[in-house]
Amino acid sequence: MPNNQTRRLAHGAMMIALFAIFIAIAFYVPIISLVATLFAPLPLAWYSAKYDRKSSLLVAFIGCIITFFFGGLLIIPFALMYAAIGIVIGDALRLKRSKVFLLMSTGITALITFAVEYVIALKLFEMDIIKEFMTIMRESYQNSIELSESLTGQTPIDDQMLDRMFDTMEILIPASITIAVFFFAFIIITINLPMLKRLGINVPKFHAFKNMRLPRAVLWYYLIILSINLFISPESGTALYVICLNFSLVLWLLLTLQGISLVYFVLDAYGSPPFLKVLAAFMAIPLYSFFVLIGILDLGFDIRSIVKGKIQK
């Protein structure tokens, strides 16, 4: 028992030090900050996978306090998000959850942490990060338009169209942030799980992408949103319009991925060369409507069984 307690304290101290170093590098060192950012949750994820939740939360709390001495209040939101992600990843691994659960829990944790920190920054410091980002992006677009005018003598986009584009972008901010956060969570998991496996932690595996199958409820959600857009046609700017547009973006992405998965399944079933998969992934961008359609068909009908039956014949 004393040996276990000593080991726990020693491991905790090492993980706190490593976490603080990763956060400090990510915050201050420009060249290798990206690498440090991707591996920042690793120390707390390893500790949380090895020890109970109470000890892990204590280590994460102390780690965030230590980072305060490196960068003051500005570094705390950064450290809190990565501490939360590390704890959730390690806790899911300790409880032997599936990789899908790991992805969902990590994404939701990152999303909630970002939302809380955004509200705190908005209310306490009157700093709207999203608004400032949109302002910078708009200025960048205007500068590129002015440059294009000076070079070609023609205006690529008028002010009215530019306003409409940015209005749509502002409406789609919730869905865009959600997609970006879950993509970020996927990258963090993909990079850190092999490292955790090397460190002696049992990690789950994703099924092959060609076997991906979303819940059929996604199809019903899409049909509901489609029916609202067709029969109710909510006015632009209303709450229902904003909700439908954001849900549509997320559902389009999910159904596009489902369609790509079906294409991969068919290509593998017929023994096609690997470069066709890469081509299909690139073609999904301009032909997303087609991939959404086959994604709907894949969820609504058992197309994979039909393909298997034809191959067996």
Do 83 and 61 fall within a single domain? yes
Q: Please compute the mean of the pLDDT values over residues 298-311 and round it to a whole number.
A: 78
pLDDT of residue 105: 92
pLDDT of residue 182: 92
Decide if 244 is inside a domain.
yes
Decide if 204 is inside a domain.
no
pLDDT digits (tens, 9 = 90+) for 48-90: 999 989 999 999 999 999 998 887 788 888 899 999 999 999 9
Do 121 and 234 fall within a single domain? no
Do 120 and 157 fall within a single domain? yes
pLDDT of residue 228: 92
Q: Decide if pLDDT at 313 tops 70.
A: no
Do 242 and 177 fall within a single domain? no
Decide if 216 is inside a domain.
yes
Q: Provide the pLDDT confidence category of residue 15 given band limits of 50, 70 and 90.
A: very high
pLDDT of residue 147: 79
pLDDT of residue 126: 79
Q: Decide if pLDDT at 100 tops 90.
A: no
pLDDT of residue 118: 87
Decide if 308 is inside a domain.
yes
Q: What whole-number percentage of the chain has pLDDT above 70?
A: 97
Distance CA 105, CA 89 (A): 8
Comparing 136-150, 225-239, 246-260, the range with the smallest average pLDDT is: 136-150
Q: Decide if pLDDT at 171 tops 80.
A: yes
Cα-atom radius of gyration of the chain, to the nearest Å? 23
Decide if 135 is inside a domain.
no
Q: Is residue 87 within 8 Å of residue 62, measured between CB atoms?
A: no
pLDDT of residue 2: 52
Query: 278: buried, middle or exposed (CB in 10 Å: 19+, 13-18, 0-12)?
Result: exposed
Decide if 215 is inside a domain.
yes
Which residue range is the domain that position 50 belongs to? 2-129+145-198
Q: Which has the higher per-residue pLDDT, 19 or 130?
A: 19
Comparing 110-114, 161-165, 221-225, 251-255, the range with the smallest average pLDDT is: 161-165
Do 43 and 182 fall within a single domain? yes
Do 217 and 189 fall within a single domain? no
Q: Is residue 23 within 8 Å of residue 79, measured between CB atoms?
A: yes
pLDDT digits (tens, 9 = 90+) for 114-157: 988 888 888 887 788 888 888 888 888 888 877 777 777 676 67
Distance CA 267, CA 281 (A): 12
Closest CA to 59 of 42, 47, 75: 47
Decide if 13 is inside a domain.
yes
pLDDT digits (tens, 9 = 90+) for 275-294: 888 888 888 888 888 999 99
Decide if 34 is inside a domain.
yes
Looking from the CA of 120 toward its CB, the CA atoms found within 13 Å total: 10
Do 76 and 171 fall within a single domain? yes
Listed residues 178, 198, 218: the one ending a domain: 198
pLDDT digits (tens, 9 = 90+) for 177-200: 999 999 999 999 999 999 999 998
Do 164 and 244 fall within a single domain? no
Total-model pTM = 0.87
Listed residues 159, 175, 198: the one ending a domain: 198
160-163 long-range contacts, CB within 8 A, separation 24+: 162/138
pLDDT of residue 112: 92
Listed residues 174, 198, 222: the one ending a domain: 198
Do 83 and 216 fall within a single domain? no
Q: Please compute the mean of the pLDDT values over residues 39-43 and round it to a whole number.
A: 94
Do 77 and 190 fall within a single domain? yes
Structural domains counted in the chain: 2
Q: Provide the pLDDT confidence category of residue 1 given band limits of 50, 70 and 90.
A: very low
Mean pLDDT of the chain: 87
Q: What is the 3-state secondary structure (H, E, C) of the chain?
A: CHHHHHHHHHHHHHHHHHHHHHHHHHHHCCCCHHHHHHHCCHHHHHHHHHCCHHHHHHHHHHHHHHHHHHHHHHHHHHHHHHHHHHHHHHHHHHCCCCHHHHHHHHHHHHHHHHHHHHHHHHHHCCCCHHHHHHHHHHHHHHHHHHHHHHHHCCCCCCHHHHHHHHHHHHHCHHHHHHHHHHHHHHHHHHHHHHHHHHCCCCCCCCCCHHHCCCCCHHHHHHHHHHHHHHHHCCCCCCHHHHHHHHHHHHHHHHHHHHHHHHHHHHHHHCCCCCHHHHHHHHHCCCCHHHHHHHHHHHHHCCHHHHHHHHHHC
Do 184 and 215 fall within a single domain? no
Do 110 and 250 fall within a single domain? no
Q: Is residue 278 within 8 Å of residue 238, measured between CB atoms?
A: no
